[in-house]
């Protein structure tokens, strides 16, 4: 069954435009209750700091209570924190109100199952099927109850720290932490302070409209300037919902998800604790694949989206994977991508090795990469257009052994994404623009 509302990471869109309207979100809550917990139970609701979060929080609360479910409201907390607390409280499922790295005008609804994992495609399809029915309102004695559990957020902070060796401390290391004015604005600085860091916080003053605005993992310029300006050892940037990580070394250089995956995987491999293959995506830099091959580390590629990385890790028995964007999975610690857990693993490697982040990434050479987003009137599979396929095959033949091409439709917006990697930057850029022109012409 083709899904109408769910994309690669829940339901997402522009606030006030279908499907991100109050009436739809209320219907979604009722449908989710019937599909995921027909016999009732408790649901946890968390959110990031967007102004519209209050509105959708109320709509979800009403829909769940009317359907007979008890509701726990925890307020702003990183998405992986909601995953953890869903399991911690023994809830039937959890809900996060967030559009992740998008601007405040957008919002979204995503779900976690009782174990803190992303819903399966089948679960999402059951919810969509229930959306065809009107919301249910039970009789008064069968309605759910609502409890606020804001003060329990410390349990998530303690969990993050528990992924480190007992008594671990960074010994006064100066760290700049950028929380994107998002969901991690309270817990991230507290976690770093608890392990002995001297923190310089930025992006920690949300006003409902400034989430991801010129800060955070998707806009690290301020973090780069601040790290060098205050002579910090490292910088940590989260995105708006705290599941995406970007770091900055002491020289002010960005360290992306591929580089961080390399640091963690190489350290585990050297220690003999790396279990199963490391999993990336179709977008993972080819340079990382070559580096892993030289170290004898098994590497696999999944579809784009952390849910597909997670699925492949489970299939192959691996525990470590992630995306270039900074969604990093360490399944021996967390059930979903967790920026703070991943950052703590990197800090532990730095402390244990006595090496700066710049040294830990020095041996990895990433290929120049050019990405082009071709906006189209209606999303389509580019592999169904013969002229696009022919252009892709022509470019792949030119780059054989020296690069690669990725062509895919976005899972969340009407965009066809073109990516070309090559040892030569100019060649990568020219090839990507060539293929993008063919895609654009094919879409008209």
Q: Which of 100, 162, 169, 205 is catalytic?
A: 100
Q: Cite the DSSP H helix spans in 201-285.
A: 221-229, 257-271
Q: Which of 27, 69, 71, 65 is nearest to 47 (CA)?
A: 71
Q: Which of 321, 184, 311, 310 is nearest to 257 (CA)?
A: 321
Long-range pairs, 328-332, Cβ under 8 A, ≥24: 328/245, 328/257, 328/260, 328/261, 328/264, 329/279, 330/163, 330/264, 332/275
- 146 HSE (CA, 13 A, CB side): 17
Distance from CA of residue 433 to its chain's centroid? 28
Q: Are 408 and 373 in contact (CB under 8 A)?
A: no
Distance from CA of residue 23 to its chain's centroid? 27
Q: Which of 317, 9, 342, 347 is nearest to 174 (CA)?
A: 347
Catalytic, 100? Answer yes
| Active-site annotation, residues | 100
């Amino acid at each position: 069954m083709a899904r109408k509302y769910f994309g690669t990471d829940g339901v997402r869109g522009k606030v006030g435009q279908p499907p991100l309207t109050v009436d739809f979100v209320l219907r979604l809550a009722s449908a989710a209750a019937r599909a995921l917990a027909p016999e009732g139970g408790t649901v946890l609701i968390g959110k990031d700091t967007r102004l519209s979060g209050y509105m959708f929080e109320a709509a979800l609360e009403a829909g769940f209570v009317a359907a007979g479910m008890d509701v726990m409201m925890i307020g702003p907390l990183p998405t992986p924190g909601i995953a953890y607390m869903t399991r911690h409280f023994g809830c039937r499922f959890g809900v996060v109100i967030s559009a992740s790295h998008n601007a405040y005008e957008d919002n979204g609804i995503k779900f976690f199952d009782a174990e803190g994992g992303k819903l399966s495609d089948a679960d999402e399809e059951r919810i969509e099927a229930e959306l065809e029915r009107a919301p249910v309102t039970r009789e008064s004695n069968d309605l759910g109850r609502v409890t606020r559990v804001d003060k329990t957020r410390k349990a998530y902070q303690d969990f993050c720290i528990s992924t480190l060796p007992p008594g671990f401390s960074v010994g006064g290391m100066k760290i700049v932490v950028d929380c994107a004015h998002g969901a991690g604005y309270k817990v991230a600085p507290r976690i770093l302070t608890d392990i002995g860091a001297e923190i310089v916080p930025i992006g920690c003053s949300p006003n409902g409209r400034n989430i991801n605005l010129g800060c955070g993992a998707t806009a690290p310029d301020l973090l780069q300037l601040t790290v060098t300006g205050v002579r910090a050892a490292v910088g940590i940037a989260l995105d708006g919902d705290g599941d995406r990580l970007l770091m900055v070394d002491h020289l002010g250089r960005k360290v992306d998800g591929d580089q961080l995956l390399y640091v963690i995987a190489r350290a585990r491999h050297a220690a003999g604790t790396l279990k199963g293959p490391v999993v990336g995506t179709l977008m993972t830099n080819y340079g990382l694949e070559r580096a892993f091959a030289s170290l004898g580390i098994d590497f696999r590629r999944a579809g784009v989206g952390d849910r597909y990385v997670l699925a492949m890790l489970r299939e192959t028995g691996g525990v470590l994977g992630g995306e270039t964007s900074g969604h990093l999975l360490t399944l021996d610690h967390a059930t979903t991508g967790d920026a703070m857990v991943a950052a703590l693993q990197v800090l532990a490697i730095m402390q244990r090795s006595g090496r700066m982040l710049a040294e830990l990434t020095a041996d990895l050479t990433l290929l120049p990469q050019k990405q082009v987003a071709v906006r189209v009137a209606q999303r389509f599979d580019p592999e169904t257009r013969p002229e696009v396929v022919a252009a892709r095959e022509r470019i792949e033949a030119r780059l054989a052994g020296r690069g690669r091409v990725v062509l895919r439709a976005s899972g969340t917006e009407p965009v066809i994404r073109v990516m070309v990697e090559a040892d030569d930057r100019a060649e990568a850029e020219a090839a990507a623009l060539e293929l993008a022109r063919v895609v654009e012409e094919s879409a008209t």
